[in-house]
Chains A and B, each alone.
Chain A
Amino acid sequence: MTGATIQAKNGVNGAVSAVLKSLKDSGCVDAVLVPTRVKSGETFVYLLIRNPKMLDSCAPLPPVMPVQGARALQSLTRHGKVEQTVLCVMRPCEVRASIELAKRRQVDLENVLFMSLDCPGALRTRDYVNDPEALDKRYQGILNNWEGDGLRPTCETCVHFSCEDVPVDLHVGLVGTKEEEAVIIGVSKRGEELLDKAGIECSEDVSAWQVEVEKARDKKAGNRSKVVSELKDKAAGMDNLGLLFADCINCHNCMRVCPICYCRQCFFDSSDQVRLRAEDYFAKAQARGGIRFPGDMMQFHLGRIYHMGLSCVGCGACEDGCPMDVPVSQVFAFAGDEVQKTFDYVPGRSTDEPIPTLTYEEDELHEYEDA
């Protein structure tokens, strides 16, 4: 793999914004979908930018992820392909969520290009809005040292923070690069052509960066197995699971911010089909002594895990959006890991990989058969 060093004297955002400008100037890209800081300063939104001048203020790697990029792309392409070439600048998990949505026909990838960046993780949005200045500084520290406090728990265990298993066209490598420097790589053929047209020559060997990515991944993988094994005890059985979700207030925010929960109306919001008649609740209360209300809280979470666990990319949007700090994302990661392993499925890896539950294989899953 080869790439080109780009100068990051004005930070990562400045360096990437310069690349974006030259891509836009070369005419291969009509518009850029990229996070940008809102005027008031305390948060970030996705902007679809056509005016190159506006790229000056974009923030390709913001410290927080208030909107999952796949959701932004979904609202752009929901009704079919876009006629102009759009370059989406996203975190790897946002690209992967976009791929999962494309498999469900909620995103159309024609004329869409992806650029991702090595992602050290994101800070909690709620923490950030309280003190943007202090957290900006903290995030800069995390970017420099590739570790630090305050990252969302999900991000601490993320192994897809770089471009491996992420179908991007361009990638910006940050892990272990010299201070004030980054590398840009044309990952796909299309990406190589883009850089070529923009006059960015990619002939440098980037194996040093690759080694650093591996090291960082090992560390995150270690974190992941530790967290998962802890959670295994904490989440075993309905009673324990009930405790994990005990603080849930049924706001369904986790579903609303989830990039791959794509239903027009959630099954658990759409009707009272799953709710029981009063007399049945009384009977249940009679049998158990007492029951929690509203009654479908666990059913909602289990239903969502059942619907989306296989495709969960572990972006952590659910947990970030939870007002009660329920560890939704961690439970999803735990359940998702198991089921993804069962089907040898990596969500978001490739649009060519069909969703396992929608494909019929005659010869599989024998371990679940009766002896």
Chain B
Amino acid sequence: MAKIGLYLCECGPNIADAIDLDRVAAEIEKDGKVAGIERHKLFCSADGKKFLAESIKKNGFERFVIAACSPKQHEGTFAEVASDVGLNPQMFQLVNIREQCAWTVPDKEQATGKALRFIRAAVTRVQYHQALEQKEIDCNPDVFVIGGGIAGIEVALRTAHKGRKVFLAEKGELGGMLKERGLLFPAMEPAGDFLGPRIDALRNNPQIELFENCKVKEVLGFFGSFVALLETQEGKEIELKAGSVVLATGAQAFNPKELAEYGYGKLDGVYTADEIEKRGVGKLLTESAKPVKSVAVIHCVGRDKLGYCSKMCCVNSMKIARQIREQSAETEVVELYRDLCLPGKGYDRFYKETEAKGVKFARFESVEVTGGDSGLTVKYKQPGGTGAELAVDMVVLSTGLAANPSNPELADMLSISVDESGFFVEEHAVLNPVSTMTEGVFIAGCARGPGDTRDTIVQASATAGKVLSSLVPGKRLQLETRTSEVSEKLCVGCGTCVTVCAYGATTLDESRHIAVVNEVLCRGCGNCASACPSGAAKHRHFTTRQLNQEVTEILK
């Protein structure tokens, strides 16, 4: 039998006060299964680790049990000590006598009894531990960007460098919401002047591979080693490998059809801001059947339904109002707003400039658009309750931004969440706004919430920075050592383990009619081993024998 050492950690007063460690030591010694017992005030301290290492070496222990705290806290610490003294890091067992005994069993006698059972179980279990090999792979520095709007384009351009490839998948055409914008506020520059060169740069960059009209079918793996499966419109599948994933799925304009009060889709002359931009303000004014002498721009369309302020629509609608005034000086434009949202640099000035161009502003509490032979009527309630009416030739609905409907599906694939509005949830809304709960998965632009083009560029740059600093080419990635394996001899290929694997690590080898485990993807959760009825799927560090011996000892 291997020479086993037992170490009892006092964890300051945490364990020492709640458990009779002298009795524990005496009883375990009586069992005669360990070759030595030592105790220390705090094994996780620098002093404690040194003491542990020296003791293992001095006594020539081949395996050891350490009764201390939760493995979540210090399993890694003691695995390092094991490595340092030349033992395989699997050759010890950490027993949690702090959280599971000292802190949760008030009676000292009972706590001591429970600790004794756990320690005995560990002493038995550790005899069956097997040395496992620590495998490493090269970290994949490549980046997979989902979404070809301005956010995705920026991230791709900023991360594509020598030694790092970028794959960009877009389900439709490149350009996102920006390709249908006329001018960009506040500078009033044509969006095309800005977007066009960027798309050209994207297409000409040898480090960037574009997949237009491609849907993301599946993403497996983890930080440093993701495997994505794309599907082209023709149904062809493409597999690509990357170290990180950037979600830049953007947003879409809220569709006001479902809100009857605006008459959208029913009344002639009612347009959304997006439609106006798509068709061009000038074109709309000149091609109209009768001259457009008056326009009402209604703000906050969809705000209540969406449940948030979309931030960019106030200024965007002013941009349209200004364009109308500039192109047709005799056209009256009234902006009907609920609250004006003008945050940050330049936007308040933009508002004042708009006013100076003769655009009128009026506040409303509720609004309704009706149609008649003579034109459109906008009835609205002013603050305080008095009603007012405007007869206009055209109504522009300033709509908010809704989340991309494919977000939940992608979130599912990447084990992250979407909020109640369908936007991806950040790792921390304030402190980590462009990373997510899954390491190596980042967000940029309107995928995380509504914003304007400037916000999107800022975020995309931040995301690119995160990606670049975390995925350094040449970095080595340590794989999970405690993985599962499937016995070729026992497996009948029923596929149970494939169904329960949350990481896509088990697959069926159709030719041999058995299941196989991909060691790079396996995270060692043990789902397969617990679901396999024949024991063909087995967890390397939680074997039936190890668990059976452990449990039997506890229940003795």
Report which A residues bind B (CB closer than 8 A). 79-80, 104-106, 262-267, 270-271, 273-274, 276, 280, 283-284, 287, 307-308, 357-359
Neighbouring B residues of A267 by C-beta, 8 Å: 533-535
**By the criterion CB–CB under 8 Å, are A271 and B494 in contact?**
no
For residue B160, give the distance in angstroms from its CB to the closest CB of chain A: 38
Answer whether A270 and B494 are a contact pair too, CB < 8 Å, given A276-B552, A358-B531: no
Interface-located stretch among B170-178, B191-199, B235-243, B495-503: B495-503
**By the criterion CB–CB under 8 Å, are A273 and B548 in contact?**
yes
**By the criterion CB–CB under 8 Å, are B552 and A280 in contact?**
yes
Which chain A residue shows the least CB distance to B533? Answer: A307
Neighbouring A residues of B500 by C-beta, 8 Å: 358
Give the interface SS of chain A, mostly helix, strand, loop or mixed: loop
**By the criterion CB–CB under 8 Å, are B490 and A270 in contact?**
yes
Is B513 in contact with chain A by the CB < 8 A criterion?
A: yes
**By the criterion CB–CB under 8 Å, are A273 and B552 in contact?**
no
**By the criterion CB–CB under 8 Å, are B494 and A265 in contact?**
no
Residue of B489, B494, B552 contacting most chain A CB atoms (<10 Å) = B494
The count of residues in chain B whose C-beta lies closer than 8 Å to any C-beta of chain A is 24
* CA–CA, A79 and B545, complex, Å: 32
Answer whether A264 and B490 are a contact pair too, CB < 8 Å, given A273-B535, A274-B544: yes
Neighbouring A residues of B491 by C-beta, 8 Å: 264
Which chain A residue shows the least CB distance to B502? Answer: A360
Neighbouring B residues of A270 by C-beta, 8 Å: 490, 534-535
> Which residue of A80, A106, A266 is within 8 Å of B494 (Cβ)?
A106
Report which B residues bind A (CB closer than 8 A). 489-496, 499-500, 508, 513, 531, 533-536, 543-545, 548-549, 552, 556
For residue A56, give the distance in angstroms from its CB to the closest CB of chain B: 37
User: How many residue pairs bridge A and B at CB < 8 Å?
Assistant: 56
For residue A159, give the distance in angstroms from its CB to the closest CB of chain B: 27
> Could you list some 16 contacts between A and B, CB below 8 A?
A105-B493, A106-B494, A263-B490, A264-B490, A264-B491, A264-B534, A264-B536, A265-B534, A267-B533, A267-B535, A270-B535, A273-B544, A273-B545, A276-B549, A287-B556, A357-B531
Neighbouring A residues of B490 by C-beta, 8 Å: 263-265, 270
* CA–CA, A307 and B534, complex, Å: 9
For residue B550, give the distance in angstroms from its CB to the closest CB of chain A: 12
Which chain A residue shows the least CB distance to B496? Answer: A358
Neighbouring A residues of B536 by C-beta, 8 Å: 263-264
Which chain B residue shows the least CB distance to A304? Answer: B533
Answer whether A263 and B552 are a contact pair too, CB < 8 Å, given A104-B495, A106-B492: no
Neighbouring A residues of B493 by C-beta, 8 Å: 105
* CA–CA, A284 and B494, complex, Å: 37
Neighbouring B residues of A271 by C-beta, 8 Å: 535
**By the criterion CB–CB under 8 Å, are A263 and B499 in contact?**
no
**By the criterion CB–CB under 8 Å, are B499 and A262 in contact?**
no
* CA–CA, A283 and B552, complex, Å: 11
Neighbouring B residues of A263 by C-beta, 8 Å: 490, 492, 533-534, 536
* CA–CA, A27 and B499, complex, Å: 39
For residue A229, give the distance in angstroms from its CB to the closest CB of chain B: 30
Which chain A residue shows the least CB distance to B546? Answer: A273
For residue B553, give the distance in angstroms from its CB to the closest CB of chain A: 8
Answer whether A79 and B556 are a contact pair too, CB < 8 Å, given A263-B533, A358-B531: no
* CA–CA, A233 and B405, complex, Å: 54
Neighbouring B residues of A79 by C-beta, 8 Å: 513
**By the criterion CB–CB under 8 Å, are B534 and A274 in contact?**
no
> Which residue of B489, B495, B535, B543 is within 8 Å of A105 (Cβ)?
B495
> Which residue of B494, B508, B556 is within 8 Å of A283 (Cβ)?
B556
For residue B113, give the distance in angstroms from its CB to the closest CB of chain A: 16
**By the criterion CB–CB under 8 Å, are B548 and A274 in contact?**
yes
For residue A109, give the distance in angstroms from its CB to the closest CB of chain B: 15
